[in-house]
Amino acid sequence: MKANTLLKVVSIIMIIVAALGIVLTLVVSILGGAVIGAMLESVGTGLAIGGGISLLLASGSVLHLVAGILGVQGKYKGCKVMGIIILVFAIISALTGISIYDNAGSIVLNVVTSLLLPVLYVWGAFKGPDE
């Protein structure tokens, strides 16, 4: 069985973006936790808060990482489930962005960037293997 090229390419992009997201989330959360700790005069408490924040924020990146790995492996059933979950979260993110931004250009850019990879991923997952 031949692998789906669209799914593989999108999955590789998702893996790269997710890995960067995890690293950046951890760094920013730990630094933010240190700042909170300095304000609370307890660095340990701040780092604990930063660690909790990083777990919450990194969960989205971990979800994308798992979906990317499933896509590279060509596990279509898992890709369909993960793709729908990611697409639902992307739609929620796009709708949230619409309520935040006030000009049309920012809204369109937010919607396109939020939905592009998830839509392509779901399309590739439901397309199945190339013939």
pLDDT band per the 50, 70, 90 thresholds, residue 13: very high
Of the chain, the percentage scoring pLDDT greater than 90 comes to 36
Residue carrying structure tokens 């609370």: 40
Once rounded to an integer, what is the mean pLDDT over residues 11-35?
Answer: 84
The pLDDT value given to residue 43? 58
Within 10 A of 102 (CB to CB), how many other CB atoms are there?
7
* More confident position, 45 or 64: 64
Once rounded to an integer, what is the mean pLDDT over residues 94-112?
Answer: 76
Note the pTM of the prediction, 2 decimals: 0.76
Strands, DSSP E only, in 2-83?
A: none
Query: Which are the contacts of 43, defined by CB distance < 8 A and separation ≥ 6?
Result: 34, 37
Residue 75 pLDDT exceeds 50: yes
Once rounded to an integer, what is the mean pLDDT over residues 92-102?
Answer: 77
Query: Which are the contacts of 32, defined by CB distance < 8 A and separation ≥ 6?
Result: 50, 53
pLDDT band per the 50, 70, 90 thresholds, residue 24: confident
Q: What is the number of domains present in the chain?
A: 1
Domain that holds residue 9: 5-127
Residue 42 pLDDT exceeds 70: no
Residue 131 pLDDT exceeds 60: no
Q: Give the C-alpha separation, 108 to 35, whole Å.
A: 34
